Amino acid sequence: MGGLTLPCLTTVTLLTGLLCSVIISVSACSCEIRNNHEKFCDADFAVKAKVRQVTLASDVFSYRVFDIKIQKVFKSYSGLTIGDNLNLTSSANAERCGVLLTEDIEYFLSGSGSPPTSLGLCSWISEWSKMTKEETRGVRGQYQCGLPKISSEVAED
Ligand SMILES: *[C@@H]1O[C@H](CO)[C@@H](O)[C@H](O)[C@H]1NC(C)=O
């Protein structure tokens, strides 16, 4: 573990994690091809949150710490609640699947981890104001999860 695998913490399976580590060693972020509906269903958490502060830190690799305030909870296996503040990390390097969020902007954030500790490009993350009506309706309850997985070949984003 440590800095090298940090961006991979957002991936769901061990297999994907290993794949991710291998890909990181050749400096590229690669994600399974999934549409947002599938990403939402696979996520351990999905929230609307405002970024309060962004801090750059480093151990082996540089990473950012996003201090977020939760405004809405769409999905959580760890009891996230409106008004909670969380510090989530992400690699400072997009090639390691790091995401860059801006202070004072509201985002839709999802990913793995209960409780969540990190964010990565393989999860569905979007500025809240840039989501489509279908997407906001989807995360508010219209996305059906638990149905057989849609093949990514026929899935639309
Ligand atoms: C997040 O990090 C900031 C800066 O280090 C700290 O002031 C704040 O208390 C932390 N918040 C939580 C919820 O841990």
pLDDT of residue 1: 38
Q: Is the CB of 57 under 6 A from ligand 1?
A: no
- C-alpha closest to that of 64 among 103, 20, 27, 26: 103
pLDDT attached to residue 7: 45
Instruction: Check if CATH label 2.40.50.120 holds for domain 6-142.
Output: yes
User: Confidence band (pLDDT; 50, 70, 90) for 146?
Assistant: confident
Report whether pLDDT(21) > 50: yes
Closest approach atom of ligand 1 to CA 85: 13
Quote the pLDDT of residue 23: 45
Residue 110 has pLDDT above 50, yes or no: yes
Any ligand 1 atom below 6 A from CB of 84? no
**For residue 2, what pLDDT is reported?**
41
Domain parsing of the chain, residue ranges: 6-142
pLDDT at 3: 43
pLDDT value of position 143: 95
Out of 27-41, 74-88, 93-107, 110-124, pick the least confident: 27-41
**pLDDT tens track for 28-53:** 899 999 999 999 999 999 999 999 99
87 lines ligand 1 (CB under 6 A): yes
Comparison of pLDDT for 8 and 57, the residue scoring more:
57
Task: Locate the ligand 1 atom nearest the alpha carbon of residue 87 and give its number.
Answer: 1
Residue 14 has pLDDT above 90, yes or no: no
* pLDDT range class, residue 119, cuts 50, 70, 90: very high
Q: What mean pLDDT comes out for the span 102-110?
A: 98
Name the average pLDDT for the chain.
85
Atom of ligand 1 nearest to the CA of 86: 13
| In the predicted structure, residue 25 carries a pLDDT above the cut 70 | no
